[in-house]
Amino acid sequence: MIVALIAACEIGFWVLLAAGLAFRYLLRMPRTGLALLLCEPLLEVVLLVATALDLKNGAEPNWTHGLAALYIGYTVGHGHRTVKWLDGHAAHRFGGAPPPVKPPRYGMARARHEGKVWTGTLVGAAVATALLQIAIWYVDDPSRVTSLESWRYAAWRAAGIHGLVALSYWIWPRKPPAGEPAVAQEKERVR
């Protein structure tokens, strides 16, 4: 049941996002579009409540509960950035706004950008860890929570791997191609 609910929340996220952007830019109803976009966090609340009720009703803690915590953590860490990115593209394509600023491609500006994205992963891992710890305390049976404990480590392994990728941009910053104009290189440094 939890896996189906996670899938439904993911599908619901994209449906609400598409509907919110369509109302904002295609139908010229920005308040309705904003209301739809603001409903997206309710999906995670529904998933959280359903997972808690599943555990309360005596379900054996397993990988589905851990996956639900990671999904909620990822949404908290990266959901806002994803919505903002898509909103910028929809505003440009359908609302006449200027094109959204692309992330820097080279140098330390790219490293800073990757560091910000990694911060979202850290937030997601922290939220998932907190939810898993609450579930562990709630179950209160060390013999039944090993699956939940392993998901905590999975969250931090993912954050660690992403951190190493982000760190690589600081250690080995990408250089612009030799043929790229100096003006574009300077813009990269300013960002």
Interval 140-166: pLDDT, tens: 888 888 889 999 999 999 999 999 999
- Its domain, for residue 92, covers 1-190
Q: Looking at residue 85, what is its pLDDT?
A: 94
Q: Which amino acid is at 9?
A: C
Over pLDDT 90: what percentage of the chain? 71
Q: Which amino acid is at 68?
A: A
Q: Which phi and psi angles does 93 have, rounded to 5°?
A: -70, -40
Q: Which amino acid is at 139?
A: V
- Distance between CA 97 and CA 13 in Å, rounded? 24
Residue 152 neighbours by CB under 8 Å, 6+ apart: 128, 129, 132, 133
Short-list 42, 8, 9, 36, CA closest to 22: 36
Give the burial string for 69-103 (b: 16+ CB within 10 Å, else e): bbbbbbbbbbbeebbeebbbebbeeeeeeeebeee
pTM of the model: 0.84
Q: Are 100 and 85 in contact (CB under 8 A)?
A: yes
Q: What is the pLDDT of residues 41-75, one digit of tens each?
A: 999 999 999 998 888 888 888 899 999 999 999 99
Mean pLDDT of 17-46: 93
- Distance between CA 53 and CA 101 in Å, rounded? 43
Domains in the chain: how many in total? 1
Q: Looking at residue 187, what is its pLDDT?
A: 52
Confidence of residue 181 (pLDDT cuts 50, 70, 90): low
pLDDT over threshold 60, residue 190: no
Higher pLDDT, 56 or 180: 56
